Amino acid sequence: MKNYNSFLLLFFVLLFSCKESEEPSIETEVELEQFERHSHFLFNFGYSDVQRIKVIGDRMLFSNKTNPGYMDTSGEIIQLCCSRNNNMDLRQSLSSKYIVAADQSLNVYNIYDVNESRSSSIFLDRLISHENYVRVNPSVSLSNFEMNEDHLISSLIVDGVNGIYIFDFEKHFSLFGTVESSNDVIKVDIPNSNPNSGPTFYKVDAFEDGWIASINNIDFSSNGTYFIHKDGRADLLYAQDDLSYLGHAFTSEGQLILGGFRELRVSLDASQENFYFTITSTNNFKFRVIQDRLVIWNPNFAEFYEVEGYKADEELVVRRLNNEGVEFTKLNDIAEFNGKVYLATTQGLFSKSLEGFWDSFPEQDGVSAVDDFMEGLEMRKF
């Protein structure tokens, strides 16, 4: 009898265990976080094309067509005083003390004091001796002037000739108007430039204690990439057939990432020569470093990718990131701020959590994570 009961017990255990194993498992689909558009009026309607964002300290500064400003760590938007006619927000330089914007006339700089929320103007014809006119070079689509602390470098046209000039804000500007002194404006001498037409910036950024810039000739051909000191000296870094500068970044370990026309170089340190990794492409692309992770994107679309393995002896992988919420816009800039990643686009300012930003692009019917932009990339370590 005891053996019979044991047999029945074993039978029922096997029966129920088999039934449990036959039940189908239900796979739960994880809903990925989407980008959300910022509702502030400065990023909507006629102001929706946000060209530049830049994190400095505890602020994220942004460009704007009338009066730029910044976001603080509480998420509040501070619009700087006062509204002026800027010549598109791409012609703005963002710094810790001032935001500088070219007026629509292109012969005046609008100056916004970031800390005091005051504004004034620099009238170029009062600072540079001339016969006919002085104006910001209108033919350059990228930013052609840039602040570095209290110094502004700019590509100007003076009496019909291109030139590069450095202004010292302590000498040439006050919030009560232009200081009448034209003796200390420095004109930069760029080697190999045509004296009859002069040099012009294609792209310029503050770099250490000066600026790094790609210089164009009058026919828009490249003159080369230079480092320009605040005293006006210009050192050639790369010849015209080597690299045409378009941007740079540093990792937390001090590695320099240098972007050029359809290429990107990564150095072992902060030098401009010790490169060990390059990316080239058949398409133009931009890049940013977020949490020491390299992100690249096609500026014609809001499609962006992480390049994994670029810092170590690892396999290089390009992984497309999830762009749900910004599929139908163009991406101008990316910045990490206050636990989020912000996208400056032609349709406004968007954000999502830092963690969610690294989600992979989901495979969808008819949409592949491998596209023409990725197929045009070539990566090489050496």
Digit-coded pLDDT (tens) for 89-138: 678 999 999 999 999 888 889 999 999 888 888 888 877 877 678 999 88
Local structure of 59: helix, strand or coil: strand
Local structure of 63: helix, strand or coil: coil
pLDDT value at residue 14:
47
Local structure of 289: helix, strand or coil: strand
Do 60 and 371 meet the contact criterion of CB atoms below 8 Å apart? Answer: no
pLDDT value at residue 178:
53
Do 318 and 286 meet the contact criterion of CB atoms below 8 Å apart? Answer: no
The structure's pTM equals 0.87
pLDDT value at residue 8:
46
Nearest to 205 by CA among 156, 277, 252, 144: 144
Q: What's the full length of the chain, in residues?
A: 382
Nearest to 247 by CA among 236, 258, 261: 258
Do 331 and 301 meet the contact criterion of CB atoms below 8 Å apart? Answer: yes
- H or E, element range at 298: strand 293-298
Three-state SS for 217-284 is: CCCCCEEEEEEEECCCCEEEEEECCCCCEEEEEECCCCCEEEEECCEEEEECCCCCCCEEEEEEECCC
Do 303 and 373 meet the contact criterion of CB atoms below 8 Å apart? Answer: yes
Dihedral sign, CA of 337, 343, 345, 348? Answer: negative
Residue spans of the chain under pLDDT 70: 1-30, 89, 131, 140-142, 174-183, 218-221, 364-371
The per-residue pLDDT for range 223-232, each reduced to its tens digit, is 899 999 999 9
In the block, residue with structure tokens 């990228």 = 142
pLDDT value at residue 10:
47
pLDDT value at residue 220:
62
The per-residue pLDDT for range 305-333, each reduced to its tens digit, is 999 988 877 788 899 999 999 999 999 99
Query: β-strand 256-260 against 245-250: which pairing, if any?
Result: antiparallel
Local structure of 132: helix, strand or coil: coil
**How many angstroms separate the CA atoms of 82 and 135, rounded?**
22
* Distance, CA of 257 to chain centre: 13
Do 358 and 321 meet the contact criterion of CB atoms below 8 Å apart? Answer: yes
- H or E, element range at 169: helix 169-172
Structure tokens that stand for 374 in this block: 């990725």
DSSP class of 9: H
pLDDT value at residue 268:
86
Nearest to 305 by CA among 372, 251, 254: 372
Nearest to 159 by CA among 138, 183, 130: 130
Nearest to 115 by CA among 89, 131, 140, 95: 95
In the block, residue with structure tokens 């690299």 = 243
